[in-house]
């Protein structure tokens, strides 16, 4: 297993935040991942580094990168088992080749399986939970591996039990439905076209949607009507084509991103009295100002 010391994480997060991880592990087996988690209680697990903002200021943890845990196997004609670091887009392509429907929405996702399950990733009315059967996780607190079924997962919009327990996904199993390959391909192409026109490509460093949609509404709509597309903080800028995306236009730091998020949240609240909740995760560092901003972003504003 490769272990890097004082390793730059810029190319391991889709926002391209320039920051240093003191110890960065690249496990090649699930057992190696478990050993790291067992022996290091201060470590964060990253897949593709999407949907996450890492502090530019000495992240106070070590990191595990799951890119080598990417095995995908078909257990039978419609059951797929994938390791935590497997890419969602690869799952989508393999399902299509087998004429299986349910993963069309993953075709343009930068997320890995672990991240998709963690946040119940979704798009175009398809959710990760729709075809989820079970996952094997490592329970850090109790030092054991356990299997969680769909009923155990407490799936909801952008939520799962993984966000509230010390569980790390090792692999996940999905049961898909037989479908028409032409129709599956049509849906995948439509989804790709939607992402090209409505969401920035990773050539423009971004973390995906910044805020969750409030119930019955769209964060992008509220932000757009609030005029945030002209907002920027140093190298961080709201994307001109969709107001719920921030791009790292010119070597933005984590505090630039957080300050911009705070401006966006405040203007929507001032206009609509709606509290936007961050969709991205934040891995904190030693900067007290940005940690305070994150606390404010996670809390509800009240008049």
pLDDT of residue 303: 66
2-65: what fold?
Answer: 3.30.43
Domain residues of the chain, as ranges?
2-65, 72-197, 219-298
Q: Provide the percentage of residues in the chain whose pLDDT is more than 90.
A: 93
Distance (Å, rounded) from C-alpha 62 to C-alpha 81? 28
Residues 118/154, Cβ–Cβ less than 8 Å: no
Taking only the tens place, the pLDDT of each residue in 88-144 is 999 999 999 999 999 999 998 889 999 999 999 998 889 999 999 999 999 999 999
Catalytic residue among 56, 158, 226, 232: 158
Tokens 């429907």 sit on residue: 101
Q: Going by DSSP bridges, is the β-strand pair 281-283/52-54 parallel, antiparallel, or unpaired?
A: parallel
Whether 158 is catalytic: yes
Catalytic residue among 122, 134, 160, 209: 209
Name the DSSP class of 285: -
Taking only the tens place, the pLDDT of each residue in 10-46 is 999 999 999 999 999 999 999 999 999 999 989 999 9
Catalytic residue among 32, 71, 279, 281: 279
Evaluate whether 72-197 and 219-298 have a shared fold: no
Distance (Å, rounded) from C-alpha 202 to C-alpha 158? 21
Instruction: Copy the structure tokens of residue 174.
Output: 């999905």
The CATH code for residues 219-298 is 3.90.78.10
Distance (Å, rounded) from C-alpha 59 to C-alpha 232? 24
Contacts of 31 (CB under 8 A, 6+ apart): none
Whether 32 is catalytic: no
Distance (Å, rounded) from C-alpha 149 to C-alpha 152? 5
Taking only the tens place, the pLDDT of each residue in 163-214 is 999 999 999 999 999 999 999 999 999 999 988 888 898 789 999 999 999 9
Whether 279 is catalytic: yes
pLDDT of residue 197: 83
pLDDT of residue 166: 95
Q: Is the pLDDT of residue 60 over 90?
A: no
- In angstroms, the Cα distances linking 156 to 53, 119, 160 are 22, 9, 6
pTM (predicted TM-score) = 0.94
72-197: what fold?
Answer: 3.30.465
Residue ranges with strand state E in 10-156: 20-26, 43-46, 52-54, 62-65, 72-76, 79-83, 100-101, 122-123, 126-127, 132-139, 144-149
């Amino acid at each position: 297993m490769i272990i890097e010391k004082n390793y730059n994480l810029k190319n391991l997060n889709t926002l391209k935040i320039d920051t240093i991880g003191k110890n960065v592990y690249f496990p090649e087996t699930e057992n190696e991942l478990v050993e790291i988690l067992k022996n290091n209680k201060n470590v964060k697990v990253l897949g593709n580094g999407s949907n996450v903002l890492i502090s530019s200021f000495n992240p106070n943890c070590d990191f595990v990168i799951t890119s080598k845990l990417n095995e995908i196997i078909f257990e039978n004609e419609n059951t797929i088992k994938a390791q935590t670091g497997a890419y969602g887009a690869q799952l989508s392509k393999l399902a299509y080749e087998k004429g299986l429907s349910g993963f069309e929405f993953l075709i343009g996702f930068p997320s890995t399986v672990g991240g998709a399950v963690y946040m119940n990733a979704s798009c175009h009315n398809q959710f990760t939970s729709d075809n989820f059967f079970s996952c094997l996780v490592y329970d850090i607190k109790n030092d054991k591996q356990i299997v969680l079924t769909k009923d155990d997962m407490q799936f909801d919009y952008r939520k799962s039990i993984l966000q509230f327990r010390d569980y790390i996904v090792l692999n996940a199993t999905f049961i898909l439905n037989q479908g028409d390959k032409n129709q599956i391909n049509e849906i995948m192409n439509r989804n790709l076209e939607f992402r090209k026109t409505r969401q920035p490509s990773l050539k423009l460093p971004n973390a995906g949607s910044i805020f969750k949609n409030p119930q019955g509404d769209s964060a992008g709509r509220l932000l757009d009507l609030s005029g945030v597309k002209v907002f920027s903080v140093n190298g961080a800028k709201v994307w001109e084509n969709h107001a719920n995306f921030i791009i790292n236009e010119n070597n933005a730091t984590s505090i630039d991103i957080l300050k911009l998020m705070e401006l966006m949240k405040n203007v929507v609240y001032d206009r609509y009295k709606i509290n936007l909740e961050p969709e991205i995760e934040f891995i904190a560092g030693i900067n007290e100002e940005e940690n305070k901003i994150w606390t404010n972003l996670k809390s509800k504003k009240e008049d």
